[in-house]
């Protein structure tokens, strides 16, 4: 990852599919003086994503792409990102798998947050699987995105203890709270701040 040169904030796009609570926390973070990023674009594969509301609230450009024809859509998406001079992409609850071609176009510049202690529990339904295995701990991970699912270099992780009567919902709430701190901290870390 190229380091921050001078004090200009990196033009960042956040990709979402749902609620967008990580997006909200990243927007709040981006407005801080110490933050190395400025969020210039919100991308969603789902026009019903609740998180799109933050584009209106914070007056950030948004673009919605249906991923039905992935090759065609990714071409349009890449040119939109280039047009907006995007330098960093943060996946935040984005539920599409990006192609190798897309990832190569932004090599080393795509981050993801995942609600488990990677490399454990890659993929979907992490909380259910963690509880089924009777794990004592779970957590969240921010990592670089490479061509293998949830397997890029880990930047930061936060561990949380699983309570006795934990449910998937309570665990998700507990982990999300940590995600909101972990993503900004991971961004500070990659810029050596
Ligand atoms: C978060 O828990 C994030 O880690 C997870 O989706 C949730 C999105 O919440 N991402 C994945 O599972 C990616 N595989 P949000 O829309 O409120 O930020």
- Rounded mean pLDDT for each run of 10 residues along the chain, 193 residues in total: 65 98 98 97 98 98 95 97 98 97 96 98 98 98 95 98 97 98 98 93
**Fold topology of 10-190:** Rossmann fold (3.40.50)
Of 114, 127, 143, 180, which residue is the catalytic one? Answer: 114
Whether the bond into 24 is cis, omega within 30 of 0: no
Q: Which atom of ligand 1 is nearest to the CA of 150?
A: 14
- For a mutational test of ligand 1's pocket, the pick from 114, 155, 158, i.e. the residue with the most ligand atoms closer than 8 A to its C-beta, is 114
Distance 80 CA to ligand 1 centre (A): 24
Token pair 């890449």 in the structure block, residue:
78
pLDDT for 54: 98
CB 139 within 8 A of CB 171: no
Q: Output the six-digit token pair for 150.
A: 């949830």
pLDDT on residue 2: 46
- The rounded Cα 13 to chain-centroid distance in angstroms is 10
Which of 21, 50, 89, 115 is the pocket-test mutation for ligand 1 (most atoms within 8 Å of CB)? 115
Give pLDDT, residue 146: 95
Tokens 């709040």 correspond to 28
114 is catalytic: yes
Query: Is the backbone of residue 30 left (phi > 0), alpha (psi -120 to 50) or beta?
Result: alpha
List the domain boundaries for the chain: 10-190
Closest atom of ligand 1 to 18 CA is 16
């Amino acid at each position: 990852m190229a380091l921050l040169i001078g004090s200009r904030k990196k033009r960042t796009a956040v990709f979402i599919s749902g609620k967008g609570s990580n997006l909200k926390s990243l927007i709040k973070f981006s407005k801080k003086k110490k933050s190395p990023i400025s969020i210039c674009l919100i991308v969603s594969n789902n026009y019903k994503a609740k998180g799109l509301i933050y584009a209106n609230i914070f007056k950030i450009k948004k673009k919605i792409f249906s991923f039905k024809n992935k090759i065609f859509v990714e071409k349009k998406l890449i040119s939109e990102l280039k047009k907006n001079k995007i330098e960093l992409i943060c996946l935040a609850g984005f539920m599409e798998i990006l192609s190798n071609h897309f990832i190569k176009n932004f090599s080393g510049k795509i981050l993801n947050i995942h609600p488990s202690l990677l490399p454990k529990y890659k993929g979907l339904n992490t909380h259910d699987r963690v509880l089924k295995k009777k794990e004592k701990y779970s957590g969240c991970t921010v990592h670089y995105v490479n061509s293998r699912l949830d397997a890029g270099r880990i930047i930061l992780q936060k561990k949380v203890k699983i309570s006795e009567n934990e449910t998937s919902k309570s665990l998700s709430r507990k982990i999300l709270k940590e995600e909101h701190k972990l993503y900004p901290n991971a961004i500070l870390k990659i810029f050596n701040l």
